[in-house]
Amino acid sequence: MAVEVVMPKLGMAMKEGVVSEWNKGVGDSVEKGELIASINSEKIEMDIESPAEGTLLNIAVPEGQGVPPGTVICYIGNTNEKIVTKESDIQINKVEKEQTEISNTSEPSSLPISKTNDRVKISPVARKIAQAANLDISKIQGTGPGGRITKEDVQEAIKKLESEPLIKQERTISPQASVEKRKEMSVTGMRKVIAARMKDSLQNSAQLTITLKADVTDLIQLQKQSAKIIQTDDENKITITDFIAKAVVLSLQEHPQMNSAYIDETIHLFESVHLGIAVALEKGLVVPVIRNAEACTVRQLAKKGKELAKRAREGQLPSEEMTGSTFTISNLGSYGVEHFTPILNTPETGILGVGAAYDAPVYIGEELKRRTLLPLSLTFDHRVLDGAPASAFFRTVKRYLEQPLTMLL
């Protein structure tokens, strides 16, 4: 009996998963544990391995389509084995068929457009390259097993097309297509969620950003001294970002109005600090949360932050550990950015943007000295608090950074 491969549930809050890429095609042999597809949810991406050895009999969910967790996405069994397709799969295939029919009735182009032909054996990667180049795959001679079209076959076809005389190309390319070449990408998975949340954040809050610079010369010296004492490897390394996190936590305790959220016309003030640290991924952004950060030392903040960031980049962080933050820090300093305008992670009241530190001449009394300055940007919700209390919080953060020993007392 054919084995059903279902869309996994990547966290309690997951409502939909998207097949981002099929690594195997119908009719391909697969080994148990072999990678067959890649999927993504709102905040997590992961690879799907085959649960059994056999042949990929049917792909029930095409690339780019979102389905609820538990939905069958493909079947694996013996060659020529008949499968019983579920009603949900029939609906998915019906939608795919209707989309294909709509595309086939669109205005014809003089470009050779790739045909939807399931009888043409072609690898998923080769199909993507062919579609991007507007190649008719039925005219490509496959050199793979059983005449299957490989990536190399498509690349060779593109080279031949590019080497044709200019006059012949002008005959096959429409005037509109020759003006501009572009590639369209469907907004799905993590990018779709980020797009919706950023738009919602700007439309449903009164955001204002203020900036200042903190003299972190003494902080850098403290960080270097701590490195000599406790740093044994990268995992135990305490960075400037860890000290910034501690300064923010202490400042939030002194200014509780910033450690809040605006929900349903009500301001919620939180006793505990659940600190979100933005982590950039290859295809998006996530915000792991250090819970009860007020109870952590600088070293504990560093350890927890690195563990969460590592798991986030590996796609092993459940959605529960990326929700519930009361304040967020976003650091673009490694990209050379100084000041920027971070967007609120609503319903939070504030988010701190950290820029790239730089050296500058600064007067200390009557003497001009070389100091290291750190650009900071604070975005806050003006519905919750005004500029004066927000600036007071910001000034407290600056004080802790410029007097780093006070963070350790």
Q: What distance lies between CA 346 and its chain's CA centroid?
A: 18
Please check whether residue 94 is in contact with residue 62, taking contact to mean a CB–CB distance below 8 angstroms: no
| DSSP strand pairing (350-354 vs 327-331) | parallel
Q: In the chain, what are the domains?
A: 3-77 (2.40.50.100), 191-408 (3.30.559.10)
Quick one: pLDDT at residue 136?
A: 84
Quick one: pLDDT at residue 396?
A: 98
Q: What distance lies between CA 140 and its chain's CA centroid?
A: 36
Rounded CA-CA distance 63/40 in Å is 11
Please check whether residue 154 is in contact with residue 179, taking contact to mean a CB–CB distance below 8 angstroms: no
What average pLDDT does range 241-250 have in this prediction? 97
Question: pLDDT digit string (tens) for 347-363?
Answer: 999 999 999 999 999 99
Phi and psi based region of residue 11 (left: phi greater than 0; alpha: psi -120 to 50; beta: remaining): left
Contacts 24+ apart (CB under 8 A), 190-194: 190/40, 190/41, 190/42, 190/43, 190/44, 190/45, 190/281, 190/283, 190/284, 190/286, 191/283, 191/284, 192/42, 193/42, 193/43, 194/284, 194/285
Quick one: pLDDT at residue 165?
A: 55
**Residue carrying structure tokens 């950039």:** 280
Residue 294 is given by DSSP the state G
Residues belonging to the active site: 382, 386
pTM for this prediction: 0.65
What average pLDDT does range 292-304 have in this prediction? 94
The residue with greater pLDDT, 261 or 166, is: 261
Rounded CA-CA distance 121/113 in Å is 17
Quick one: pLDDT at residue 150?
A: 81
What value does the mean pLDDT of the chain take? 83
Please check whether residue 321 is in contact with residue 175, taking contact to mean a CB–CB distance below 8 angstroms: no
Quick one: pLDDT at residue 101?
A: 47
Q: Is residue 387 pLDDT above 60, yes or no?
A: yes
- Phi, psi angle pair for 375, to nearest 5°: -70, 135
Quick one: pLDDT at residue 6?
A: 92
Rounded CA-CA distance 103/400 in Å is 60
Quick one: pLDDT at residue 302?
A: 93
The residue with greater pLDDT, 7 or 163, is: 7
What SS3 class is residue 287?
Answer: coil
Residues 6+ apart with CB under 8 A from 123: 25, 144, 148, 149, 150, 151
What average pLDDT does range 107-131 have in this prediction? 57
Rounded CA-CA distance 34/51 in Å is 8
What SS3 class is residue 360?
Answer: strand
Quick one: pLDDT at residue 1?
A: 77
Q: What distance lies between CA 280 and its chain's CA centroid?
A: 7
Q: Please measure the distance between the N-terminal and C-terminal CA atoms of the chain and give it in whole angstroms.
A: 66
Q: Is residue 177 pLDDT above 70, yes or no?
A: no
Q: Is residue 118 pLDDT above 80, yes or no?
A: no
Rounded CA-CA distance 173/176 in Å is 8
Please check whether residue 214 is in contact with residue 390, taking contact to mean a CB–CB distance below 8 angstroms: no
Tell whether omega for the bond before 124 is within 30 degrees of 0, i.e. cis. no
Quick one: pLDDT at residue 91?
A: 52
Quick one: pLDDT at residue 272?
A: 96
**What secondary structure does DSSP assign to 154-212, as a single string?**
HHHHHHHHHHS-HHHHHHHS-HHHHH---------HHHHHHHHHHHHHHHSS-EEEEEE
Please check whether residue 181 is in contact with residue 116, taking contact to mean a CB–CB distance below 8 angstroms: no
Residues 6+ apart with CB under 8 A from 338: 355, 356, 358, 375
Rounded CA-CA distance 234/172 in Å is 56
Rounded CA-CA distance 291/296 in Å is 9
Closest CA to 304 of 333, 273, 262: 273
Quick one: pLDDT at residue 12?
A: 65
